[in-house]
């Protein structure tokens, strides 16, 4: 994918996108564009253009963008942000399918230093003050991913009582 096109939608320089990893569409159920960002500071400072992201999402038939950096706040696998304005979600605090796809991407590109590392933790929602930790577990057989399990811990925003 064209890093310049992606950078323009995020109002960043292409230099903020890692050169050693591809910007790529990935899916574990819903397609997203995975975008590797060089630093936590760059990721947290992004001010996206939601109209442009919607246009690119439509163009590539994806739900949205899943940005990540390997620099983290709490010694996790990656710190992430997710934008899906085409579906009226400017930013998502916890995205299981996207982090499942990111787990596979990190395995494929050998970011997981040892192939037997399969339990991952992703930080997301911090820029929204809605922190969450998404947990993924990869089942690997003969160096192929055969299953991706996703779970996590999220912040309780509000309690509501409803009558049924």
* Residue numbers of the domain that contains 142: 3-154
Quick check: 142 pLDDT over 90?
no
CATH number of the CATH domain containing 107: 3.10.310.10
pLDDT at 33: 98
pLDDT for 153 beyond 80: no
**164 within domain boundaries:** no
Strand partners, 133: 123, 153
Q: Given a cut of 60, is residue 102 above it in pLDDT?
A: yes
Cβ neighbours around 99 below 10 Å, total? 30
Q: Is 162 inside a domain boundary?
A: no
CA–CA separation, 87 vs 96, rounded Å?
Answer: 16
Per cent of the chain over pLDDT 90 is 74
Show Cβ contacts of residue 16 under 8 Å, excluding neighbours closer than 6 positions: 7, 37, 38, 39, 42
pTM: 0.89
Q: For residue 118, is it within any domain?
A: yes
Residue 47 resides in a domain:
yes
Average pLDDT, the chain: 91
Least confident of 37-46, 71-80, 107-116, 135-144: 107-116
CA 128, CA 4: separation in Å to the nearest integer? 26
In a domain, 99, yes or no: yes
**In the chain, how many domains are there?**
1
pLDDT digits (tens, 9 = 90+) for 55-86: 999 999 999 999 999 999 998 999 999 999 99
């Amino acid at each position: 994918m064209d890093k310049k096109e992606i950078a323009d939608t995020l109002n960043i320089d292409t230099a903020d996108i890692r050169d050693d990893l591809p910007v790529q569409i990935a899916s574990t159920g819903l397609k997203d564009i995975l975008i590797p960002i060089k630093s936590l500071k760059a990721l947290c400072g992004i001010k996206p253009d939601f109209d442009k992201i919607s246009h690119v999402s439509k163009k590539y038939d994806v739900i949205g963008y899943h940005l990540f950096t390997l620099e983290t706040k709490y010694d996790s696998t990656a710190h992430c942000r997710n934008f899906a304005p085409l579906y009226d979600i400017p930013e998502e605090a916890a995205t299981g399918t996207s982090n499942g796809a990111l787990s596979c991407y990190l395995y494929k590109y050998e970011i997981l230093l040892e192939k037997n590392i399969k339990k991952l933790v992703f930080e997301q929602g911090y820029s929204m003050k809605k922190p969450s930790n998404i947990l993924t577990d990869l089942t690997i057989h003969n160096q192929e991913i055969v299953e991706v399990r996703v779970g996590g811990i999220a912040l309780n925003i509000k309690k509501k009582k409803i009558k049924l």
